[in-house]
């Protein structure tokens, strides 16, 4: 599996799963656009990729802003002439409240990034893919987009939406050499999980108790599935959600 001469955009690439994807794509030969709201960290990731003989371009983007995502796509095309792969990974967590306690601010904040941000990324990447005649999108959803998840209404809603958008768009563009899939990670060692554990320390043992493998996923393990779906080895796969949860959904 290689990505030589491929141009890959990864949102939320400065940490967690996005960071792992950036390093793995670069190691396999891709030129990686390290897109993140935190430009300082994105620059660090890009610098490390370049230091290891890879190619990377850091770009600041707030995926909740259409003009930011538009600039991301336009800058990438202007710089490299194409986009081969779009990884919509940027996401934020909720405030972990019951539905009747959830604030309007929390709802709007999470939906704008996790759902609307993915829509923006898909819409604009697809416009470029239609010009090129090909393309590949992998969305990072969640186990919370496949099954019930309490104290999580905005996050759950956004991730169910990502799964639905993935399937709907995959059907629309399957005949045009464009594939769209999603990964649905379970509990993964990442800043989002750290946020939950810092808010409710007692959750650490509770979460591990419902994972048959008794551990969290490593970001590299999720990234490996992203790369597989984005590769030429899965050319007849579209509209699918790959669950990586250590058996939690069982």
Report the alpha-carbon angle 214-220-223, nearest 5.
115
pLDDT at 200: 66
- 155 is known as an active-site residue: yes
Where do the domains of the chain lie? Answer: 7-187+218-243
Round to whole Å and give the CA distance between 191 and 83. 28
Q: Over the chain (250 residues), what is each successive 10-residue block's mean pLDDT?
A: 95 97 98 98 98 98 98 98 98 89 96 98 98 98 92 94 98 98 92 71 78 92 98 98 94
Round to whole Å and give the CA distance between 224 and 217. 12
Collapsing DSSP to helix, strand or coil, 216 comes out as coil
Round to whole Å and give the CA distance between 243 and 189. 16
Neighbouring residues of 247: CB distance < 8 A, sequence distance ≥ 6: 211, 212, 213
pLDDT at 187: 87
- Residue 127 CA to chain centroid, in angstroms? 19
pLDDT at 150: 86
Catalytic residue, chosen from 120, 155, 173, 216, is 155
Report the alpha-carbon angle 22-26-32, nearest 5.
60
Rounded to 5 degrees, φ, ψ at 34 are -90, 95
Using CA atoms, how far residue 221 sits from 30, 106, 216, 226, in Å, is: 19, 29, 10, 9
Within 10 angstroms of residue 13's Cβ, the number of other Cβ atoms is 33
Spatial CA neighbour of 90 closest among 50, 67, 120: 120
Within 10 angstroms of residue 211's Cβ, the number of other Cβ atoms is 17
Round to whole Å and give the CA distance between 184 and 20. 16
Query: Any idea which architecture 7-187+218-243 has in CATH?
Result: 3-Layer(aba) Sandwich (3.40)
pLDDT at 125: 98
């Amino acid at each position: 599996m290689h990505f030589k001469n491929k141009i890959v955009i990864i949102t939320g690439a400065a940490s967690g799963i996005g960071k792992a994807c950036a390093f793995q794509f670069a190691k396999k030969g891709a030129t990686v656009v390290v897109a993140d709201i935190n430009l300082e960290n994105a620059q660090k990731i890009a610098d490390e990729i370049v230091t290891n003989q890879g190619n990377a371009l850091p770009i600041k983007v707030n995926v909740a802003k259409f003009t930011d995502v538009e600039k991301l796509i336009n800058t990438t095309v202007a710089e490299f002439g194409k986009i081969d792969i779009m990884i919509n990974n940027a996401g934020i967590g909720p405030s972990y409240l019951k539905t009747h306690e959830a604030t309007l601010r929390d709802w709007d904040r999470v939906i704008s990034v996790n759902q609307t941000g993915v829509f923006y990324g898909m819409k604009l990447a697809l416009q470029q893919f239609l010009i090129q005649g090909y393309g590949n999108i992998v969305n990072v959803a969640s186990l919370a987009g496949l099954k019930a998840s309490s104290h999580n209404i905005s996050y759950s809603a956004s991730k169910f939406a990502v799964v639905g958008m993935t399937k709907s768009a995959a059907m629309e563009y399957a005949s045009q050499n464009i594939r769209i899939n999603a990964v649905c990670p379970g509990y993964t060692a990442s800043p989002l999980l750290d946020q939950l554990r810092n808010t409710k320390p007692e959750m650490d043992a509770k979460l591990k108790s419902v994972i048959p493998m008794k551990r969290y996923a490593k970001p590299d393990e999720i990234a490996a599935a992203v790369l597989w779906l984005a590769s030429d080895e899965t050319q007849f796969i579209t509209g699918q959600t790959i669950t990586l949860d250590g058996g939690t959904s069982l």
